[in-house]
Amino acid sequence: MTVVVAVVAVVVAIATYLTWIARRLDRLGVRVDAARAGLVAQLAARAQAAVALAESRGLVSLAAAAEQALAGHAALRAGASLDNGVEDTENELSRALRAPEVGSAGQGAPELLHAVDSAAARVALARQLHNDAVRDLRALRGRRLVRMTRLGSRRPLPAYFEIDDALPARGGPLGAPPPGIGRPTRVVPGGAI
């Protein structure tokens, strides 16, 4: 009798623990999805801001890079993976935004330039939130118990999104950091996001 009670108690404890882990995995999955949606939204906002600036100032290569990025965003919103191809396209846009002629031509449209720089700062933030969520989920999925029980295997392991999103350094009076995210992170020396 005591053996039966003990076995039942152990089984209940294990089941409770596994349910709890499964719940954590679900919650982390929700967090990763939300962070991914946020990242995609910020990437789109950056590309749109870049198109507006490029059209206003006749910046041909910036326009091309931004249109290229925008072309892929519909698929991302539909759930396509943030793979190497996306990283390459977004890197192209980061590079195009840092080109010196963008800063100089932007002097003629300070508000549009400012909008682009703020959007770029938000991309960096959204990417960090995304990668933090991915790290937490991967850490839990990597636990031996989770691997053995295949608890998390219903969905593919999410990947980090790695792009070069260093903010453009603008000289002159427009060198003032954009408001919001961009500003306080620069107040403290060495305070990179």
Contact residues toward another protein (CB under 8 A) are: 16, 19-20, 23-24, 27-28, 31, 34-35, 37-38, 41-42, 122, 125-126, 128-129, 132-133, 135-136, 139-140, 179-181, 183-185, 187-193
Other beta carbons within 10 Å of 75 = 11
- The CB-of-107 to another protein minimum distance in angstroms stands at 23
Question: What is the amino acid identity at position 172?
Answer: G
Min dist CB 38 to another protein, Å, is 5
CB 64, min distance to another protein, A: 28
CB atoms within 10 A of CB 166: 11
Of 65 and 146, CB closest to another protein: 146
Q: Which CB sits closer to another protein, 41 or 63?
A: 41
CB atoms under 10 Å from CB of 176, counted, come to: 13
For the bound state, the minimum distance from the C-beta of residue 124 to another protein, rounded and expressed in Å, comes to 9
Shortest Cβ 12–another protein spacing (Å): 13
Cβ atoms 45, 122 nearer than 8 A = yes
In Å, what is the CA distance from 52 to each residue of 17, 48, 49, 57, 109? 53, 6, 5, 9, 10
| Residue with Cβ nearer another protein (47 or 59) | 47
For another protein, the closer of residues 38 and 63 by Cβ is 38
> Closer to another protein at the Cβ: 6 or 166?
166
| E strand or H helix that includes residue 103 | helix 100-106
CA–CA separation, 172 and 159 (whole Å): 39
